[in-house]
């Protein structure tokens, strides 16, 4: 085998790594961006929903002995309920409050979830068996791991489904309408509270899937498991243009690619710095992010 | 019985009282105009009727139902549509999607299609541009869309807030002609306008709002000939 074949094989493998990592970021980023679009708030507790999803998986599979598919569904349902409950209790009363108050509340909710996990499960990380039992696939000389394969396929399905849902159902259009103008949406008969709840529900269910996928590769879950992927996904959402659904998808995938290629070819230590560097450069050139639109100010 | 009856309505923004206890009514089939200077409280009144702004005191009754106890999103399905000030169409949706949003609470597909035909008949321009992103429409087209969107709910009463704002004179005449058509087809109209001359010429009755109070009311024709109204609102 020639040297450049080895290099390109290695490069392809890194690309697949990056795509699957990026898929996870994208799934999380969707929750950030949808909630931002509709409520104009940064839900910093979103990352911790991933952690809850991962714990649920470990409980469902390890303690309840559920099969993986059921465990994933249970984890999605629990996170969806959690997301809706958080919105209802913590954010809804602040609908007309200052953005700073909402931000601080979101950070509070984040600490609350982490501390609750600490109380219930303790500080030591728990080993989680992978929910994905798919053997790797051989494409010529390239091996694609089962985890990466499932992550990629599931993400494609979920993103296609979400895009279809937003653009082709009246509930989806109502979400767009509410994110643009709550008053006008109400005049059309849209129940704004229910639409916002639906947004949290979808975002949190996607976060649960991301949590399951993340933990299936990583293998351990602890109370702070959600923090790092949460921040990365937030960066992805901003990179893609916060409030833009395709932006979150693009931002997530790009971030994953940049991160894994930097780790492979530049430096493991510098990878995160490079990720944030790219964000800064993009924001300098295009402050609204890659696919973000400048919103027309309403008076 | 009046279709819409507002009694002793008081509205505050914080400590500032914008509407100071006004009463008016709109009967089935009428065109009723609400005129008044900038800041008189016209928009506030309409917003309070459709639930976007809460009232402090008074009552709003529509078809015998107390609107003060009805959440904003339930009002359109009761037969009341509102073309808000500044159009407020959904900029990022297409023309067609905006019209679909107008029929959000309706379920009967055949009836919705019928309303769509009717809207396209009033505004052929909207049909030509149905796939266009609404934010890229011209101001006049956006106004057509705002009215069309409201008609998509098949309202028994339509509230219009300055439908002529920012339109060229020719367009203003067109919009007013359409409002008359809509009314002839059986929809009651409550309209707020700066263009008092124009609106009084199509209205049956009118109320003059002055800093939160109704200072005059009556037959539109009579108001048009009233010296005080002429001086203050018709620029004569
Ligand atoms: N959201 C708000 N907060 C505080 N004050 C408000 C608000 N909206 C309106 N006002 C005030 O209430 C008063 C009535 O405003 P409103 O918009 O109802 O007037 P209007 O008669 O529709 O005027 P225009 O012809 O200029 O549209 C004004 O003094 C305005 O400054
Ligand atoms: Mg006004």
Q: What is residue A200's predicted lDDT score, i.e. its pLDDT?
A: 97
pLDDT digits (tens, 9 = 90+) for B10-19: 999 999 999 9
Are the beta carbons of A63 and A127 closer than 8 angstroms? no
pLDDT digits (tens, 9 = 90+) for B174-189: 899 999 999 999 999 9
Q: Single out the residue in B154, B189, B211 at which a domain terminates.
A: B154
Three-class DSSP category at B210: strand
Q: Say what angle helices B139-151 and B109-122 make with each other, to 10 degrees.
A: 150
My answer on whether B75 and B169 are in the same domain is yes
Q: Say what angle helices A46-58 and A99-121 make with each other, to 10 degrees.
A: 20
CA distance A258 to A250: 12
Which residues have CB under 8 Å from A198's CB, separation 6+? A171, A175
Local confidence band at A141 (pLDDT 50, 70, 90 cut-offs): confident
Minimal CA–CA distance to A52: which of A104, A120, A154? A120
Place of tokens 């992010």: A289
Strands lying side by side in the sheet with B16-26: B16-26, B4-13, B57-62, B65-66
E strands, A140-241, in order: 142-144, 220-221
CA distance A32 to A40: 10
Q: Is the pLDDT of residue A7 over 80?
A: no
Q: What is the DSSP letter of B1?
A: -
% of chain B with per-residue pLDDT over 90: 83
Residue B81 alpha carbon to ligand 1 centre in Å: 21
**Number of the ligand 1 atom closest to the C-alpha atom of B19:** 14
Parallel, antiparallel or unpaired: strands B157-161 and B80-83: parallel
Q: What is residue B235's predicted lDDT score, i.e. its pLDDT?
A: 72
Which residues have CB under 8 Å from B37's CB, separation 6+? B210, B232, B233
Long-range contacts of A292-299 (CB under 8 A, 24+ apart): A292/A240, A292/A241, A292/A242, A292/A243, A292/A244, A292/A247, A293/A241, A293/A243, A293/A244, A293/B92, A295/A243, A296/B91, A296/B135, A298/A181, A298/B86, A299/B86
CA distance A181 to B89: 9
Three-class DSSP category at A226: coil
My answer on whether B93 and B206 are in the same domain is no
**Number of the ligand 1 atom closest to the C-alpha atom of B42:** 21
My answer on whether B198 and B92 are in the same domain is no
Three-class DSSP category at B179: helix
From A94's Cα to the closest Cα of chain B, the distance in A is 17
My answer on whether B56 and B167 are in the same domain is yes
Q: Single out the residue in B102, B120, B154 at which a domain terminates.
A: B154
Local confidence band at A79 (pLDDT 50, 70, 90 cut-offs): very high
E strands, chain A, in order: 126-127, 137-139, 142-144, 220-221
Q: Which residues of B touch A166 (CB under 8 A)?
A: none
pLDDT digits (tens, 9 = 90+) for B33-67: 999 999 999 999 999 999 999 999 999 999 999 99
My answer on whether B104 and B144 are in the same domain is yes
A·B CB contacts under 8 A: 67
How many domains does the structure of chain B reveal?
2
**Number of the ligand 1 atom closest to the C-alpha atom of B14:** 4
My answer on whether B168 and B190 are in the same domain is yes
Local confidence band at B203 (pLDDT 50, 70, 90 cut-offs): very high
Q: Single out the residue in B134, B154, B174 at which a domain terminates.
A: B154
Minimal CA–CA distance to A52: which of A34, A77, A33, A69? A77
Residue B84 alpha carbon to ligand 1 centre in Å: 13
Local confidence band at A296 (pLDDT 50, 70, 90 cut-offs): very low
Q: Domains in chain A, start-ordered, CATH in brackets?
A: 3-285 (1.10.3470)
Average pLDDT rounded to a whole number, residues A105-121: 96
Place of tokens 């904003």: B72
- Alpha carbon of B73 to those of A176, B78, B155: distances in Å? 16, 10, 14
Q: What is residue A23's predicted lDDT score, i.e. its pLDDT?
A: 96
From B224's Cα to the closest Cα of chain A, the distance in A is 32
Task: At A260, give phi and psi (nearest 5°).
Answer: -75, -30
Which residues have CB under 8 Å from B182's CB, separation 6+? B122, B147, B151, B158, B189
Place of tokens 């996607």: A206
Closest residue in A to B82 (Cα) is A187
Q: Which residues of A touch B74 (CB under 8 A)?
A: 189
Element (H, E) at B66: strand B65-66
CA distance A24 to A226: 12
> Of all protein residues, whose CA lies closest to atom 25 belonging to ligand 1?
B38
Local confidence band at A1 (pLDDT 50, 70, 90 cut-offs): low
My answer on whether B142 and B166 are in the same domain is no
Which CATH number does the domain housing residue B71 bear? 3.40.50.300
My answer on whether B56 and B170 are in the same domain is yes
My answer on whether B104 and B14 are in the same domain is no
Q: Which of A281-295, B16-30, B101-115 has the lowest mean pLDDT?
A: A281-295
C-alpha neighbours within 13 Å on the C-beta side of residue A297: 1
From A26's Cα to the closest Cα of chain B, the distance in A is 23
Q: What is residue A298's predicted lDDT score, i.e. its pLDDT?
A: 35
Residues with CB under 6 A from ligand 1: B 13, 18, 36, 38-44, 85, 194
My answer on whether B161 and B150 are in the same domain is no
- Alpha carbon of A115 to those of A110, A111, A120, A222, A232: distances in Å? 9, 6, 9, 11, 21
Where in the sequence is the domain holding B60, given as residue range(s)?
Answer: 1-79+157-236
My answer on whether B108 and B74 are in the same domain is no
Are the beta carbons of A122 and A227 closer than 8 angstroms? no
My answer on whether B73 and B161 are in the same domain is yes
Are the beta carbons of B139 and B167 closer than 8 angstroms? yes
Q: What is residue A299's predicted lDDT score, i.e. its pLDDT?
A: 32
Residues of chain B in Cβ contact (below 8 Å) with chain A: 50-52, 71-77, 81-82, 84, 86, 88-93, 97, 100-102, 104-105, 135, 149, 153
């Amino acid at each position: 085998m020639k040297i450049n074949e080895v290099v390109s094989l290695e490069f392809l493998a890194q690309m697949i790594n990056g795509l699957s990592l990026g898929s996870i970021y994208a799934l999380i980023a969707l929750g950030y961006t949808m909630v931002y679009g509709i409520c104009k708030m940064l839900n910093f507790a979103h990352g911790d929903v991933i952690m809850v999803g991962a714990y649920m998986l470990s409980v469902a599979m390890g303690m309840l002995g559920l099969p993986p598919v059921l465990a994933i569904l249970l984890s999605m349902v629990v996170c969806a309920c959690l997301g809706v409950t958080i919105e209802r209790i913590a954010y809804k009363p602040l609908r007309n409050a200052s953005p700073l108050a909402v931000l601080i509340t979101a950070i509070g909710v984040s600490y609350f979830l982490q501390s609750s996990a600490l109380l219930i499960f303790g500080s030591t990380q728990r080993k989680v068996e992978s929910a994905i039992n798919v053997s790797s696939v051989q494409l010529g000389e390239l091996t694609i791991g089962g985890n990466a394969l499932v992550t990629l396929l599931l993400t494609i399905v979920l993103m296609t489904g979400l895009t279809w849902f937003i653009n082709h159902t009246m509930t989806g259009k109502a979400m767009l309408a509410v994110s643009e103008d709550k008053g006008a949406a109400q005049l059309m008969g849209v129940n704004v509270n229910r639409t916002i709840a639906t947004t949290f529900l979808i975002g949190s269910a996607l976060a649960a899937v991301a949590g399951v996928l993340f933990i299936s590769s990583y293998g351990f879950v602890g109370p702070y498991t959600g923090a790092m992927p949460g921040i990365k996904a937030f960066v992805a959402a901003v990179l893609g243009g916060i409030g833009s659904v395709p932006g979150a998808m693009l931002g997530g995938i790009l971030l994953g690619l940049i991160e894994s290629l930097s780790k492979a070819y530049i430096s493991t230590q510098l990878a995160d710095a490079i990720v944030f560097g790219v964000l800064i450069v993009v924001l300098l050139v295009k402050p609204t992010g890659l696919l973000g639109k400048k919103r027309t100010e309403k008076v | 019985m009046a279709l819409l009856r507002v009694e002793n309505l008081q509205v505050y923004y914080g400590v500032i009282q914008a509407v100071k206890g006004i009463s008016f009514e709109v009967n089935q089939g009428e065109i009723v105009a609400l005129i008044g200077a900038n800041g008189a409280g016209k928009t506030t009144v309409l917003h309070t009727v459709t639930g976007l702004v809460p009232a402090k005191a008074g009552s709003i009754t529509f078809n015998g139902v107390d609107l003060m106890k009805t959440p904003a999103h339930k009002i359109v399905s009761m037969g009341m549509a509102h073309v808000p000030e500044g159009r407020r169409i959904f900029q990022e949706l297409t023309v067609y999607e905006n019209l679909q949003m107008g029929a959000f609470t309706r379920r009967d597909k055949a009836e919705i299609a019928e309303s769509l035909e009717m809207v396209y008949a009033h505004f052929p321009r909207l049909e030509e541009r149905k796939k266009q992103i609404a934010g890229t429409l011209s101001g006049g087209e956006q106004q057509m869309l705002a009215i069309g969107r409201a008609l998509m709910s098949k309202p028994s009463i339509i509230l219009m807030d300055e439908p002529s704002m920012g339109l060229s004179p020719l367009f203003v005449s067109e919009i007013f002609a359409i409002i008359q058509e809509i009314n002839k087809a059986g929809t009651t109209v409550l309209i707020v306008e700066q263009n008092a001359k124009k609106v009084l010429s199509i209205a049956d009755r009118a109320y003059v709002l002055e800093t939160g109070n109704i200072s005059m009311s009556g037959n539109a024709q009579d108001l048009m000939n009233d010296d005080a109204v002429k001086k203050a609102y018709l620029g004569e």
